[in-house]
Amino acid sequence: MASQNEIWTEKYRPQKFEDLVGQDDIVKKVQSLTKALNIPHLLFAGPAGTGKSTLALIIVREMFGVHWKENYLELNASDERGIDVVRQKVKDFARTKALGNVPFKVIFLDEADALTKEAQQALRRTMENYTSTCRFVMSCNYSSKIIDPLQSRCAIFRFKLLEEKDVAKRIRFIAEKENLTISEDTVIALYEASEGDCRRVINLLQASASITPSITKELVNTLVSSAKPGDIKIVLEYALSGDFLKAKEKLLEVMLKESIAGTDIIKSIQREVWNLQIDDELKVRLTEKTGEIEFRLVEGSDEFIQLEALLAAFVLAGKGIIK
């Protein structure tokens, strides 16, 4: 049985630039800056699980070596993120001299888009006043939530979702280390479940390995909180044939039996629409309707009522009322 005494996302976090997959262009540029021991303020923006925090750690370890912990301060969304933290904790750390050959320390603000606007405004002057003794590295999912004055002070690197080949490379590396048996179909299932998030892939892999070292596609699907494509296809076919009651019953069965949330059902429906045997124009209209229902769910509407409304739209489409 695979070892389970550590969280794999930390155990298999890349330790060197060459271990980070899927962000080759960014890694090359940052690596050249790091070797010169002179990085600007950095802003890493992009989806979760694509290597932003990992790259920040690699930069610090490469620059400071064994002294990296003394020269590094990390604050994330679980910490207080108000203006007082910027004025006190960040400023106190920034004004002290670094240890070792590098003339500055590094402050890493993880999930910087969670900083209040007031804290971001206070950070402007701190970044300017302590440039000689400190560099800031910020990561965020949405760069639009970072005020323009901060963005203009940083070199911005935009991370992309990982491709299947990049995620597969990491899966096979972990499988080899943990003596796991994984088929090609299982790798594809893990990638599809992750939607390009490597952290989610590794968590799924560890959960599967805790059950059996022979990981199958079926096992992965049981651990993923998403509806099976076959079940969703049946629901939509019932609706398009005009049988609203059967479609509703099947949808309730899928949601209650598999304990799947309405937002996850919506994602499955959106993917399955394009596999239906209907006109492309109708697919576009139904996709638009799916997006409208998803917005209502996010805003707090009752998921059962909204999903029934979506099924009603499919019924009308099947009868030619929606064209």
Per-residue pLDDT of the chain (323 residues; tens, 9 = 90+): 445 567 888 888 888 898 888 888 999 999 998 888 888 999 999 998 899 999 999 999 999 888 888 889 888 766 666 677 777 788 888 888 888 788 899 999 988 888 888 888 888 888 888 888 899 999 999 889 999 999 999 999 999 988 888 889 999 999 999 999 998 888 888 888 887 888 988 998 898 888 888 988 888 877 776 667 778 888 899 999 989 999 999 888 888 877 788 888 888 888 888 888 888 888 898 999 999 999 999 888 888 899 999 999 999 988 877 65
Domain 229-318 sits in CATH at 1.20.272.10
Tokens 């933290």, located at residue: 85
The secondary element (H helix, E strand) that includes residue 45 is strand 42-45
Q: What six digits make up the tokens of 192?
A: 């599809």
Question: Does 229-318 match 164-223 at the fold level?
Answer: no
CA distances (Å), 125 to each of 106, 121, 147, 303, in order? 16, 8, 13, 46
**CATH 3.40.50.300, applies to 23-158:** yes
Instruction: Tell me the C-alpha distance between 204 and 8, whole Å.
Output: 10
CATH (one of 1.10.357.10, 1.10.8.60, 3.40.190.10, 3.40.50.880) for 164-223: 1.10.8.60
Contact 223, 207 (CB under 8 A): yes
The sign of the CA dihedral 136, 137, 138, 143 is positive
Q: Hey, what are 237's tokens?
A: 């076919």
Return the pLDDT at 294: 92
Domain boundaries, the chain: 23-158, 164-223, 229-318
Whole-model pTM: value is 0.77
Contact 159, 172 (CB under 8 A): no
- Beta pairing, strands 134-140 & 181-182: unpaired
Closest CA to 23 of 223, 170, 238: 170
Distances in Å between the alpha carbon of 12 and those of 60, 171, 207, 214? 18, 10, 15, 20
Work out whether strand 134-140 and strand 105-109 pair parallel, antiparallel, or are unpaired.
parallel
Crossing angle of helices 164-178 and 198-209, rounded to 10° = 30
